């Protein structure tokens, strides 16, 4: 069902001189979705986000929000708000004034705009730090301030450009939980650009995997993870083995691989590495065709039947665990 505030990209294109950064991509983001644009650096995901935000001109195609073509509107008139990668907080303004900045630009009187800023700061749990300057905040606090500033205009779509990349790993996991919670509470569309597949899997309702200026595969997160269509997607999402077998190129999840004896197995292999990961053991084996596959075994399975380096083994999987890949 198409809702009022769906965001749609219609063969959106970005050219810089002769190079194509985004090549006629089309996608429909349903209102209230947490979507991740996922891909390696230079794949066009940031350009796509910046075109949605209005910080990059659209070379061709259109961005529509709620059926309205917003591709030529200035950023503030689009119903989108952007949270920048380095947060882009104004260093000379306090957190409160940063959050109230857009209201100040609209000419809202100080009392009203500070009250509204206060509400936003409460939403992100930053009330006590309202009078600090950005330089006096930690990375996580800066991010909350930037979130409050982006949300004060009541956008229909929040655009996040690698919002977690500046944080240390521990904080990253905490902040991503908060982002998800906030999105659930507000019910607006989040479009989040990232190159981290774990971040995308943890957060997104839908992921759009981009490569080389095009959408490689997109859909519900689980559907994409369970059935990657191309070798690139399988490799980029991780936890998959891409192997060439007589039937063709297939992706098999590493936790779907079973270690058996050589006879009757789908693939024979030789163990080249055994890595203990706490709850799991990753077992890498060389298989015919100068390929490597990794099997992820639970620690119980592995230590119930320990293997040695250089041991010949068979690798097996259930027929439906293998997904034929294009390219």
Partner 1 sequence: MALRHHFKTKPFGVSVRNTSVIGWLLASPLSLVLLVFLVAPITMIVVVSFWGATEWSIYPAFQFDNYAFLLTSDVTYRVFLNTLKYAAITWVCTLLIGFTVAYYLAFHIRSLTWQIALFLLCTIPFLTSNIIRMISWIPFLGRNGIANSTLISMGVIDEPLEWLLFSDFSVVLAFVHLYTLFMVVPIFNTMMRIDKSLIEAAADAGATGWQTLWHVIVPLTKPGIMIGTIFVVALVMGDFITVRFMSGSQSANMGRLIQNDIALLQYPSASATAVILLITVLLLIGTLLRFVDIRKEL
List residues near partner 1 by CB under 8 A.
53-55, 74-77, 81-82, 84-86, 88-92, 101-102, 104-106, 149-150, 153
Q: How far apart are CA 307 and CA 296, in angstroms?
A: 13
Q: Which two tokens stand for residue 112?
A: 């009203």
Residue closer to partner 1 by CB (options 64, 153) is 153
Give min distance, CB of 89 to partner 1, in A.
8
Give min distance, CB of 15 to partner 1, in A.
17
Give min distance, CB of 4 to partner 1, in A.
22
Residue closer to partner 1 by CB (options 145, 224) is 145
Give min distance, CB of 136 to partner 1, in A.
15
Helical packing angle, 139-151 and 169-186, nearest 10°:
20
Residue closer to partner 1 by CB (options 81, 296) is 81
Residue closer to partner 1 by CB (options 53, 204) is 53
Question: How many residues does this entry show for the chain?
Answer: 327
Query: How far apart, in Å, are the Cα atoms of 289 and each of 52, 86, 248, 267, 286?
Result: 44, 45, 13, 11, 9
Residue closer to partner 1 by CB (options 48, 241) is 48
Give min distance, CB of 30 to partner 1, in A.
24
Residue closer to partner 1 by CB (options 75, 196) is 75
**Cβ–Cβ < 8 Å for 59, 13:** yes
Residue closer to partner 1 by CB (options 81, 251) is 81
Give min distance, CB of 132 to partner 1, in A.
17
Q: How far apart are CA 20 and CA 209, in angstroms?
A: 17
Residue closer to partner 1 by CB (options 91, 187) is 91
Give min distance, CB of 86 to partner 1, in A.
6
Q: How far apart are the first and last CA of the chain?
A: 33
Give min distance, CB of 200 to partner 1, in A.
23
Residue closer to partner 1 by CB (options 58, 224) is 58
* CA dihedral for 154, 82, 228, 174, sign (positive or negative): negative
Give min distance, CB of 106 to partner 1, in A.
6
């Amino acid at each position: 069902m198409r809702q009022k505030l769906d965001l749609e990209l219609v063969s959106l294109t970005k050219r810089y001189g002769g190079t194509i950064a985004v090549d006629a991509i089309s996608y429909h983001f349903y209102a209230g979705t947490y979507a991740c644009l996922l891909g390696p650096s230079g794949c066009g995901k940031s350009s796509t986000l910046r075109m949605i935000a209005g910080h990059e001109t659209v070379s061709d195609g259109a961005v529509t929000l709620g059926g309205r073509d917003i591709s030529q509107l200035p950023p503030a008139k689009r119903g989108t708000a952007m949270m920048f990668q380095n947060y882009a907080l104004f260093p000379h303004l306090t957190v409160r004034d940063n959050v109230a900045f857009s209201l100040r630009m609209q000419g809202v009187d100080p009392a009203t705009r500070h009250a509204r800023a206060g509400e936003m700061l409460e939403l992100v749990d930053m009330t006590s730090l309202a009078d600090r300057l950005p330089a006096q905040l930690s990375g996580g606090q800066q991010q909350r301030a930037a979130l409050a500033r982006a949300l004060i205009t009541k956008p229909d779509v929040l655009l996040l450009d690698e919002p977690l990349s500046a944080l240390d790993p521990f904080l990253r996991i905490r902040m991503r939980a908060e982002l998800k919670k906030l999105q659930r509470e507000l019910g607006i569309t989040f479009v989040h650009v990232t190159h981290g597949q774990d971040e995308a899997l943890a957060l997104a309702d839908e992921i759009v995997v981009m490569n080389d200026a095009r959408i490689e595969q997109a859909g519900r997160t689980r559907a994409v993870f369970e059935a990657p269509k191309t070798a690139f997607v399988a490799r980029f999402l991780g936890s998959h083995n891409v192997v060439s077998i007589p039937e063709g190129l297939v992706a098999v999840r590493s936790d779907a691989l079973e270690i058996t004896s050589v006879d009757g197995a789908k693939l024979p292999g030789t163990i080249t590495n055994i890595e203990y990961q706490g709850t799991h053991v990753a077992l890498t084996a060389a298989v015919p065709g100068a390929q490597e596959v990794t099997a992820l075994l639970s620690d119980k399975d592995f230590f119930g039947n320990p293997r040695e380096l250089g041991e010949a083994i068979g690798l097996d999987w259930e027929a439906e665990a293998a997904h034929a890949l294009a390219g």
